[in-house]
Amino acid sequence: MPRSQPTRIKIPRIGVDAPTSPVGLDRNQQIAVPPLNQPKTAGWYKLGPSPGEIGTAVVVGHVDSRATGQAVFFRLGALKPKDTIEVLRTDGKKARFIVDGVARYPKKQLPLNQVYGHTGKAQLRVITCGGDYDKKAKSYKDNIVVFATLATGPAK
């Protein structure tokens, strides 16, 4: 599919139907996430491929929020292989992905090449926080990563 900014992400199995907004890098040169006051918004990493393009598109979001409780990707870790993820795009097309797997990694040991590396296919990674919460660092210790591949055939 040609490049086109995503506008929404839908993950039926876990009840996600959320707007997306473009994000870049934060001050630590990590992928930024949507502002904490937007816990129900997913962020698309605009410096990488768009969902449906050849390459690994990345969508990130919060797991929870002190102000609102459950956030956009609260149940992300419940996805199973063969579940679907649909991304709506500004060009009016839908990119439908099939989940290949879900993994949890300590943030400090995230396998960057496996998560972000180019595979020659149109792929999607959906990432949120997980594991135990570190009160001192005010952050979760792990990341939940969903690996998905663009489905062949028309989106429904």
pLDDT digits (tens, 9 = 90+) for 17-47: 999 999 999 998 889 999 989 999 999 999 9
Fold assignment, 6-150:
Sortase; Chain: A; (2.40.260)
pLDDT digits (tens, 9 = 90+) for 44-101: 999 999 999 999 999 999 999 888 889 999 999 999 999 999 999 999 999 999 999 9
Is residue 10 packed enough to be buried (19+ CB in 10 Å), middle (13-18) or exposed (0-12)?
middle
Cα 7 to Cα 14, 26, 121, 123, 145: the distances in Å are 19, 21, 21, 17, 21
Tell me the whole-structure pTM to 2 decimals: 0.93
d(CA 145, CA 79) in angstroms, rounded, equals 10
Residue 44's closest CA among 19, 72, 20?
Answer: 20
Mean local confidence (pLDDT), 104-114 = 91
Q: What is the 8-class DSSP label of residue 109?
A: G
- Whether residue 156 is predicted with pLDDT greater than 50 in this model: the reply is no
130 in Cβ contact with 144 (< 8 Å): yes
Residue extents of the structural domains in the chain: 6-150
Distance of CA 72 to the CA centre of its chain: 10
Confidence of residue 108 (pLDDT cuts 50, 70, 90): confident
